[in-house]
Amino acid sequence: MKAPAATAGEIESRVAALGDGPLTEAALAAHVAPLFSRARASGFGHVYLANHSLGRPLDAIEADVREGVAAWYANMGGAWDDWMAEMHAYRTRLAHLMHAPRSDCVVPKTSAGQGLRAILNSYGADEHPRVVATRGEFDSLDIILREYARRGRIELALVPPRNGGRFHTDDMLDAIGAAVDLVVVSEVVFNTGQRIDHLDAIVERTQRAKGRVLLDVYHSLGALPVDVAALDVDFAVGGSYKYLRGGPGACFLYVHPRHLDGSLRTLDIGWFAKREPFSYRRPDPPQFAEGGDALLESTPPILTWYQARAGQQLTLALDPARIRAYSLRQQHRFVALLASSGIDARGGTDEQGAFVVATDSRAGEWCRALAQRHIVTDARGPYLRLCPDILTTDDDLALTADALADIVGSQRAR
């Protein structure tokens, strides 16, 4: 079954109505906000500033998922034709978003950690690869790295932040040294929103040290332009939970074409990685599919591709560069409003990802107090994370700044 023309067509026509200039609040409210009528009418939070955690869903998601289920009802086993076509479309859209050279460079996964394990498990049990990562990697990667190190599967060096919680490229370069096997680094750090600078220098040093780079783009893809080909990274992991508005489970591993000639083999495969899997032949040794298909796993969760469709379509139509420019203007305005309320915050510059951060030991208390006022944020340790998006209004930002100033003032008065 083909996608209903109205779903993709409405997204494209509404974005086209914005024109080619910079995004504006009025135009987004008139043309794009109606695509989110259900989320906006849900009553969950008068102000939603947790887009860096879970993006608001488009109305079209329900119809898209129903389409995947309808193919099953209508065709039973024949639904695989529709499902495999949707997997290809999912991979193609992600390839366009990342500027990957071809769609089979994108391997569907259910988590970023699953992608990391696939790469770690491409090393032999007796190789003990040397891995360098920051101490700022998200838990989904961090716990895997630490457990592999604890079991002696890898030699792990974790680069700490300096004062202020920020990571420095020079520290990464020193840790890489003259020999490394794998470097794991986020383009944007999950808790502080720091955008790691000079990624090109990290890639160049890693390549000179005969190693490979795995880039976590979970907090950059969809929020700012990402170009894995220009960066020349070996691998990238990410997902749709946040800025791509595709919910959990719709994740991926990107693999550079230089590793898709059959030289990269991993234990993390399943029968969909076989050459002609539905032929059910069992040659020994196994014969794998061509390119990135050789890294597929077992029977996949097909509905994740459908639930991610509308968010990918919207992001492609809007263009991440335009989204980024609008986000920076919002952040700059938000930081100024917070400053006028006596709150020091970071954001609105190229050094920051998609969200504003206020750093204070009371960040968790502030988050809970804001929630009581129906303002949804979150906190990671001392970092209060506040992420406006294309549905956030200037009134939302002003209301939040005033509320936070009142909360802080009340705490000081006690």
Domain count for the chain, please give it.
2
Strand partners, 108: 252
Q: What is the pLDDT of residues 244-275, one digit of tens each?
A: 999 999 999 999 999 999 999 999 999 999 99
Cα 307 from Cα 68, distance rounded (Å): 9
Any domain includes 2? no
- 9 confidence band (pLDDT: 50, 70, 90): confident
pLDDT computed for residue 372 by the predictor: 95
- In this predicted structure, the answer to whether residue 295 has a pLDDT above a threshold of 80 is yes
Which pLDDT band, with edges at 50, 70 and 90, does 44 fall under? low
Let me know whether 119 and 34 are in one domain: no
Residue 50 β-bridge partners: 387
pLDDT the model gives residue 411:
76
Within a domain: 5: no
Is residue 232 over pLDDT 80? yes
Q: What local confidence, expressed as pLDDT, does residue 383 receive?
A: 97
**Under DSSP, is residue 39 helix (H, G, I), strand (E, B) or coil?**
helix
Instruction: Report if residue 200 sits inside a domain.
Output: yes
Cα distances from 26 to residues 30, 32, 111, 272, 371, in angstroms, run 6, 10, 36, 47, 27
- pLDDT score of 152: 95
Specify if 414 maps to a domain: no
User: Residue 154's pLDDT is what?
Assistant: 97
Same domain membership, residue 136 and residue 258: yes
- Examine the domain organization and report whether 112 and 147 are in the same domain: yes
Average predicted confidence (pLDDT) for the chain:
95
Whether 361 is covered by a domain: the verdict is yes
Tell me the C-alpha distance between 414 and 408, whole Å: 10
**What pLDDT score does 37 carry?**
94
Asked whether residue 413 is assigned to any structural domain, the reply reads no
| Nearest by Cα to 19 from 7, 9, 11, 27 | 27
Q: Residue 302 maps to which CATH number?
A: 3.40.640.10
- Rg (alpha carbons) of the chain, rounded to whole number: 22
Beta bridge partners of 255: 235
Q: What is the pLDDT of residue 1?
A: 43
Q: How far apart, in Å, are the Cα atoms of 71 and each of 90, 108, 163, 298, 309?
A: 17, 20, 55, 20, 16
Q: Which residues does 239 contact at the CB level (< 8 Å), separation at least 6?
A: 109, 111, 112, 218, 246, 248, 249, 250, 251, 252
Cα 266 to Cα 148: distance, rounded to the nearest angstrom: 15
The pLDDT of residue 7: 64
- At residue 394, does pLDDT exceed 60? yes
Residues 69 and 154 in one domain: yes
**Do 223 and 356 belong together in one domain?**
no
Residue 270 belongs to some domain of the structure: yes
Which among 328, 359, 366 has a CA at the least distance from the CA of 344? 359
pLDDT at 45: 61
CA 32 to chain centre: 22
Between CA 64 and CA 70 the distance in angstroms is: 10
Pairing type for strands 235-239 and 251-255 reads: antiparallel
Mark which of 251, 284, 315 sits at the end of a domain.
315
Tokens of 184: 């794991």
Residues 300-325 pLDDT 10s? 999 999 999 999 999 999 999 999 99
Range of the domain at 301: 65-315
Same domain, 53 and 171: no
Average pLDDT value for residue range 193-218: 98
Q: Is the domain of 266 the same as that of 213?
A: yes
| pLDDT (0 to 100) of residue 390 | 97
Distance of CA 366 to the CA centre of its chain: 26
CATH code, domain with 374: 3.90.1150.10
pLDDT at 342 over 60: yes
Looking at the fold, whether 237 and 347 belong to one and the same domain comes out as no
pLDDT bucket at 6, cuts 50 / 70 / 90: very low
Give the C-alpha distances (Å, rounded to integers) separating 91 from 65, 66, 246.
17, 20, 14
How distant is the alpha carbon of residue 200 from its chain centre?
20
Of 6-15, 19-28, 202-211, which range is least confident? 6-15
Instruction: Identify the pLDDT of residue 4.
Output: 44
- The CA-based angle 30-36-39, given to 5 degrees, is 135
Both 309 and 195 in one domain: the answer is yes
State residue 364's pLDDT score. Answer: 97
pLDDT of 280 strictly over 90: yes
Q: Are residues 105 and 143 in the same domain?
A: yes
DSSP 316-347: HHH-HHHHHHHHHHHHHHHHHHHHHTT---B-
pLDDT at 3 over 50: no
Residue 3 lies in a domain: no
Residue ending a domain, among 289, 315, 341, is: 315
Global pTM reads 0.95
Shared-domain flag, residues 134 and 200: yes
Residues 85 and 228 in one domain: yes
**Amino acid, single-letter form, for residue 310:** A
pLDDT (average), residues 41-63: 90
How many Å apart are CA 341 and CA 402, to the nearest integer?
Answer: 7
Domain end among 315, 342, 375: 315
How does pLDDT run across 96-114, given as a tens digit for each residue? 999 999 999 999 999 999 9
User: What is the percentage of the chain residues whose pLDDT exceeds 70?
Assistant: 97
User: Which residues have CB under 8 Å from 40's CB, separation 6+?
Assistant: 33, 56, 391
